[in-house]
C-alpha cells in the first residue's frame, strides 16, 4: 500500500526513528500509525537496553533555582561523548529534568523516572526516546536539592562541565553566586576545618611528619614545621580558608564575615568524576566496524 509522507513525518516525530525505519514500520502495520509506533517502541526497547549497558562518562551539569531564591537543585546527566553532550537536545533534557526535580523534590535518582515533564511525558519515556534518537546511553546520575527559609540559594555553571549550588544566610544573591563561582574554580575539599574528614587530616599529618623527619631538623623544630604546614594545608583546601579568586587579599571566610553572611550548604559537581572510563583504541574500533560491515 502507498504510505503518505505526512505519516512518515509524524511517526518520526513520535518515535525519533529514521525515515526508512518509519516507512517500513508503516508498511508492516498497513498504515496504522499507532500500531507502527508500538512496533518501533518494542524494537527500540531492545536497542535501549543494549545502549544502557554502555559506560557514560561525558555529559553536563544542570542547575535550577526557584524564583524566590529559596530552593535550588544541581544534577548530573551523562552521555557517552562530548559531541552529544554539547547538543541542544541533550542540554534541554538536562535542564528540563533539573526544573522538575526542583519542583517535585523526588526522594532519590530512581524516583526521577516517574516524574512528568511539561509535555505530559514521563522522564523515563523522554530519556528512552532521547537514547534512541542520539544513539548513546543517557543516564541521570545524581542530584542534590537545597532549601532555606532565612537565606538565599544561588548557582554557578562553568562550561556545562562544572556546577555549584550554595546556600547563604545573610548576604545576597550576588555574594552567593560569587562564592559558588569561587568553589567551581578551586574545588575545596570542604567548607571549613571542622568539616575536614579525620582520616584525610591524619593522612596529611603523617606525610608532613615524614617530610619534617627527613629534613633532619631537631624534634622541637620539626614539630613546629608540621603545625605550620598543616595550618597552611587547611587554608588551601577549605572554602573559608582559601583566598577569594576575585580578591586574593581576603579569604572567603573574611569576605562572608564582612557581609554578615555565613555559608550553610554547598555542592560542587564535575562531569564524570569518579566514573571509570573505558579506554578506546581508535584503530581497533575502526577495524571492528569494517569487519562488522
* Sequence ranges of the chain with CATH classification 1.10.8.10: 5-52
* Sequence ranges of the chain with CATH classification 1.10.286.20: 197-237
CATH number of the structural domain 5-52: 1.10.8.10
Q: Determine whether 170 is exposed, middle or buried from the number of CB atoms within 10 Å of its CB (0-12, 13-18, 19+).
A: middle
| Region for residue 16 given its phi and psi (left: phi exceeds 0; alpha: psi -120 to 50; beta: otherwise) | left
Class of domain 197-237: mainly alpha
pLDDT digits (tens, 9 = 90+) for 2-53: 888 888 888 777 766 767 878 888 898 888 888 887 777 666 654 555 566 6
* Sequence ranges of the chain with CATH classification 3.30.479.20: 58-194+239-270
pLDDT digits (tens, 9 = 90+) for 251-274: 999 999 999 999 999 999 999 998
DSSP strand E in 70-151: where? Answer: 71-79, 139-147
C-alpha grid cell, residue 40: 518501533
In whole angstroms, what is the distance from residue 115 CA to residue 128 CA? 14
DSSP strand E in 50-138: where? Answer: 58-65, 71-79
The CATH label, of 3.30.479.20, 3.40.50.720, 3.40.50.1220, 3.40.50.170, for the domain at 58-194+239-270 is 3.30.479.20
* Low-confidence winner among 143-147, 169-173, 190-194, 196-200 (lowest mean pLDDT): 196-200
Q: What is the pTM of this model?
A: 0.77
Amino acid at each position: 500500500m502507498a504510505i503518505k509522507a505526512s505519516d512518515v513525518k509524524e511517526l518520526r516525530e513520535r518515535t525519533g526513528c529514521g525515515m526508512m525505519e518509519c516507512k517500513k514500520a508503516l508498511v508492516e502495520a498497513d498504515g496504522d500509525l499507532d500500531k507502527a509506533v508500538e512496533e518501533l517502541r518494542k524494537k527500540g526497547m531492545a536497542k535501549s537496553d543494549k545502549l544502557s549497558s554502555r559506560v557514560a562518562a561525558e555529559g553536563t551539569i544542570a542547575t535550577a533555582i526557584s524564583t524566590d531564591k529559596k530552593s535550588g537543585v544541581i544534577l548530573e546527566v551523562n552521555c557517552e561523548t562530548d559531541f552529544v553532550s554539547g547538543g541542544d537536545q541533550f542540554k534541554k533534557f538536562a535542564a528540563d529534568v533539573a526544573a522538575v526535580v526542583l519542583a517535585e523534590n523526588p526522594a532519590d535518582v530512581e524516583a526521577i523516572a516517574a516524574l512528568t515533564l511539561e509535555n505530559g511525558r514521563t522522564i523515563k519515556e523522554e530519556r528512552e526516546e532521547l537514547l534512541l534518537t542520539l544513539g548513546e546511553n543517557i543516564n541521570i546520575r545524581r542530584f542534590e536539592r537545597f532549601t532555606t527559609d532565612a537565606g538565599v540559594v544561588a548557582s554557578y555553571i562553568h562550561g556545562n562541565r562544572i556546577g555549584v549550588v550554595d546556600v547563604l544566610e545573610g548576604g545576597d544573591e550576588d555574594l552567593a553566586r560569587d562564592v559558588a563561582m569561587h568553589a567551581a574554580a578551586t574545588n575545596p575539599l570542604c567548607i571549613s576545618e571542622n568539616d575536614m574528614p579525620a582520616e584525610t587530616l591524619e593522612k596529611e599529618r603523617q606525610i608532613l611528619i615524614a617530610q619534617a623527619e627527613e629534613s633532619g631538623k631537631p624534634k622541637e623544630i620539626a614539630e613546629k614545621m608540621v603545625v605550620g604546614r598543616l595550618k597552611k594545608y587547611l587554608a588551601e583546601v577549605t572554602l573559608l580558608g582559601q583566598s577569594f579568586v576575585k580578591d586574593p587579599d581576603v579569604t572567603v571566610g573574611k569576605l562572608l564575615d564582612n557581609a554578615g553572611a555565613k555559608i550553610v550548604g554547598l555542592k560542587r559537581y564535575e562531569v564524570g568524576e569518579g566514573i571509570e572510563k573505558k579506554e578506546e583504541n581508535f584503530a581497533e574500533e575502526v577495524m571492528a566496524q569494517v569487519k562488522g560491515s
